[in-house]
Structure 1
Amino acid sequence: MIELEGLTKRYGEKVAVNNLTFAVRPGIVTGFLGPNGAGKSTTMRMILGLDHPTTGDVRIDGRHYDHLKDPLKYIGALLDAKAMHGGRSAFNHLLCLAQSNGIPKARVHEVLDTVGLTPVARKKAKGFSFGMGQRLGIAGALLGDPRILMFDEPVNGLDPEGIHWIRNLMKSLAAQGRTVFVSSHLMSEMALTAGHIVVIGQGRLLADTSMADFIQRNSRSYVRIRCPQRERLLDVLHGAGITVVETGSGTLEVDGGKPELIGELAARHQIVLHELSPQQASLEDAFMRLTAESVEYHAHADTPHPQAAPWGGDWKRG
């Protein structure tokens, strides 16, 4: 288990992490979310003792990272896939890590096979693609067979097969009772992988809850209706005390409505429905709503002036 208590990190006047308190528990994948600049990477670095907190405390199974003997046997982490000696082969990179932590050489072969790099084990890492580097970094995290694993953007550079593989790997590790803490900006992947999430914004804790509860609390659920007898249906729904929102696309929406109740009302009045579907916001929708005021860097879609076409020609030409 990873435990943070009042964790704070200042860089001069800048507060990167502000009084964070939460625990990452075993047996479930915990997603770590936040906008750019929220303090996620700084928090992960403090967990691993790479940065020291200004105030507060962080413990790994009750101990500070620098008090762990052979730390790779306690916690494995992927923070930067490029953090390796490019002149070493994949095998030798892992062998150096293994020897520094009292891990048998045979384990190097095992993790290379797990991540699918056995065929290129003797090739130098500097020739690896970004995705292969990610796999090598994941192999390093798995090397000590640790009870705690921490991944920062683990699907970066991976192809669809690789994304599917790492998703299932993280789930299987959690199912074994391990602690799995993963940071990612890919909301679709987090929704498929994590059962619990921790959300921070501008260094502060915004949410520490189950995935289902987070989406329910921070999003809008409604029933969408399409009906050729629109006016009749509106009269029936209003008569039943149901508030309806009319959208510009020709559909009707009932906030928090029960589709079975609406369907029964329509059937009782012989009203034809073309669509009656409950709608639930995605993790991305819920995340955007919660963190709207915590986004530090905003992009703007500026439309270039026609005369500023980069190729010097007519802006309207295809």
Structure 2
Amino acid sequence: MIELSGLTKRYGEKVAVNDLTFTVRPGIITGFLGPNGAGKSTTMRMVLGLDRPTAGDVRIDGRHYHELKDPLTYIGALLDAKAVHGGRSAYHHLLCLAQANGIPARRVHEVLDTVGLTAVAKKKAKGFSLGMGQRLGIAGALLGDPRILMFDEPVNGLDPEGIHWIRNLMKTLAAQGRTVFVSSHLMSEMALTADHLVVIGQGRLLADTSMARFIAENSRSYVRVRTPQRERLLDVLATAGIAVAPGGGEALEVDGDKAEAIGELAARHQITLHELSPQRASLEEAFMQLTAESVEYHAHDGQPAAGPLPPQGQAQGQAQGQGQGQRPWGSDWRKG
């Protein structure tokens, strides 16, 4: 379990993280979302003791990171896949981590097999592609068989098979009762992976809720209806007290989840329907709705922004699977 209480980080006058309080619980995948510059990476760095909070507290299973003996056996993290000595092979990179944390060398072979890098274990990391680097970083996070896993953008550079693999891996970890905390900008993937969401904007907590509730509370759901008997259907729906709005083309839109009621009314009055389709918002739409006022960098769809150009070098708006050979990685190496 990861517990944040009033966590704050300032860099001079800049408040990167502002009084964050939330808990990342075991047994589920918690997605960590926010626009660029929201403070996600800074928050994760403070969890690992890489940055010192200006105020507040963060604990891992009740203790600060620096209080953990052999910390990789408590929490495994992937924050930067490039944080590897390029002259070391994948095997020796993991072996160094294992020796520093009292982990048997045989565990290195197990995690290399889990992430699909056994065939390139003796190759130097500087020759790895971005996707291979991500897999090596994930192997490092898994090395200590920890109860807590934390991943920052874990699918960067992975091909579709790799994305499917890491998604299933995270679900397996959560099903084993582990704490899984993952940050990503890939909304479609987060929608398939996360059970719970923590959303921040400009360093402040915006949401701490289930995936389903987040989408329901921050988006519009409606029913799209098309019929050649438009006026008759409008009369029937009005009589039933169902409000209707014009949609695109000849379609009608009815707010809420009323598809069954509309279908039954149409059947009862012998009205032909060409379309009766519930339209539910995506995670991306709900996220954009909630964070609209918290976006720090705005693009302008190819049109020049009003006002003077920003100073030289200032940041600009940015656009933004189970793998073969995978084996259960939670081995009993501690028993040996």
TM-score band w.r.t. shorter chain: over 0.9
Q: TM-score, normalised by structure 2?
A: 0.89
Shift of 1:293: 0.6
CA distance in 1, matches of 2:211, 2:268: 38
Match of 2:67 in 1: 67
Match of 1:14 in 2: 14
Query: Which residues of 2 match residues 1-318 of structure 1 at below 5 A?
Result: 1-303=1-303
CA distance in 2, matches of 1:137, 1:127: 15
Shift of 1:40: 0.1
CA distance in 1, matches of 2:225, 2:55: 53
CA distance in 1, matches of 2:248, 2:189: 32
Shift of 1:258: 1.3
SS in 1 for 2:234: helix
Shift of 1:302: 2.7
Q: Where do 5+ consecutive residues of structure 1 fail to align?
A: 305-318
Question: What do the CA deviations read for 1:117-175 (whole angstroms, capped 9, x no partner)?
Answer: 00000000000000000000000000000000000000000000000000000000000
CA distance in 2, matches of 1:257, 1:212: 14
Tell me the amino acid that sits aligned with residue 243 of structure 2: T
Query: Is the contact between residue 224 and residue 247 of structure 2 (CA under 8 Å) also seen in structure 1?
Result: no
The RMSD of aligned alpha carbons is 0.9
Question: What do the CA deviations read for 1:181-228 (whole angstroms, capped 9, x no partner)?
Answer: 000001111111000010000000000011111111111111110111
CA distance in 2, matches of 1:110, 1:169: 14
Change in 2 beyond 3 A, CA 1:257/1:151: closer
CA distance in 2, matches of 1:14, 1:79: 22
153-162 or 220-229, which moves further after superposition?
220-229
Question: What do the CA deviations read for 1:74-120 (whole angstroms, capped 9, x no partner)?
Answer: 00000000000000000000000000000000000000000000000
Shift of 1:263: 0.9
Query: Is the contact between residue 188 and residue 283 of structure 2 (CA under 8 Å) also seen in structure 1?
Result: yes
Shift of 1:18: 0.2
CA distance in 1, matches of 2:36, 2:303: 24
Q: Where do 5+ consecutive residues of structure 2 fail to align?
A: 305-336
Q: TM-score, normalised by structure 1?
A: 0.94
Shift of 1:249: 2.2
Shift of 1:278: 1.3
SS in 2 for 1:169: helix
Tell me the amino acid that sits aligned with residue 50 of structure 2: L
SS in 2 for 1:157: coil
CA distance in 1, matches of 2:224, 2:53: 49
CA distance in 2, matches of 1:144, 1:13: 38
Corresponding pairs, count: 304
CA distance in 2, matches of 1:85, 1:271: 69
Question: What do the CA deviations read for 1:208-267 (whole angstroms, capped 9, x no partner)?
Answer: 011111111111111110111111111111122111011232211000141111111111
